[in-house]
Amino acid sequence: MRLLPLFSAGALAVSVPQPCLSSNAAALAQRANCPDQAHLTSCLQSLPRAAEIDDVSECLLAAGCADAVQQADILAKECALLFPTNADLRRKRAVVDEPAATFAPRDADAAYLAGTSIPTLFPRTAMKGEECFTVKDTKTKECQTVTNGGVETETDCSTITTTTSVCAEDKTCSLDKSGHTVCMNLQNSLDAAGIVIAIVFGVLAISGVGTLTFLCCKDRKEQKRLLAKAEATALVRAATKKKKADEAREQRAPLMAQQRARDASTGSTDPFADRNRS
């Protein structure tokens, strides 16, 4: 009954780390779930240092495991992960130490990058040291002061010339973080970019003034139009009122004319006279 499993396991001839079996025998026996776990634990702990997978299979068969070959293979793989051999370590180290793949640039790209410089806007070269200064002679007057009767007078006057270093007129000087003097050439004249910017700002300023003037003239014209419209409306209203008054006056005028005609026929011009009086 044990010849076939033993033959299959022996064909593998895979060694199992003995420290893994001795230190984890109880856990491995519980994981194998064999009927006699106590016997399997003691058998795994008693295996020699150079134990192979067929020895583990014999312990599993003795403990009553039906699939001893498969269980032995599983236990061997778990022990190989927990206690790797020197060959496994060398194989893993070779994988880790393998250099990463690098991509060499193409010749055309390398030539382009080597011959291309980063463009800068208005490049200015900074200078330092003696390039920033110019020599300037300064004359000072020194005299001896003599007190005579409480009055101080100067005698033996002489002119002393001292040489000092000042920032050159065509440069602007400043100090860097280290306290050293650095300078750059002054740009006192307009270049092409400055002229273009000045023209753009001039056009914008003229456009703004022109737009403001146009809006002011348009607003004044609108105000005049509204004022003329209001005056015309007032004149129309006044004419309408006058016309209504004239029409009312004309409507009353015939009645008064008829009254005058009747008075004239009776020979009396008094409207209050009694025409029936004899």
CA–CA distances in Å: residue 272 to residues 92, 151, 261, 268, 275: 147, 127, 14, 9, 9
Helix (H) or strand (E) holding 252: helix 192-266
pLDDT at residue 202 in the model: 95
Range picked from 37-46, 82-91, 117-126, 256-265 for highest mean pLDDT: 37-46
Q: Tokens standing for 35?
A: 């009927």
The CA-atom distances, in angstroms, between 276 and each of 242, 266, 268 are 41, 10, 12
3-14 b/e (C-beta count within 10 Å ≥ 16 → b): eebbebbeeeee
The more confident residue out of 39 and 94 is 39
pLDDT tens readout for residues 194-247? 889 999 999 999 999 999 999 999 999 999 999 999 999 999 999 898 888 888
Instruction: Write the Ramachandran bin of 51: left for phi over 0, alpha for psi from -120 to 50, otherwise beta.
Output: beta
12 pLDDT above the threshold of 60: no
Nearest residue to 272 via CA among 258, 264, 263: 263
Residue 76 makes CB contacts below 8 A (sequence gap 6+) with: 14, 16, 53, 56
* Span 246-252, average pLDDT: 76
Query: Rounded CA gap, 45 and 29, in Å?
Result: 11
| Cα distance between residue 31 and residue 147, in whole Å | 117
| pLDDT for 109 | 53
Domains of the chain, by residue range, sit at 3-94, 127-185, 194-273
Higher-pLDDT residue of 97, 246 = 246
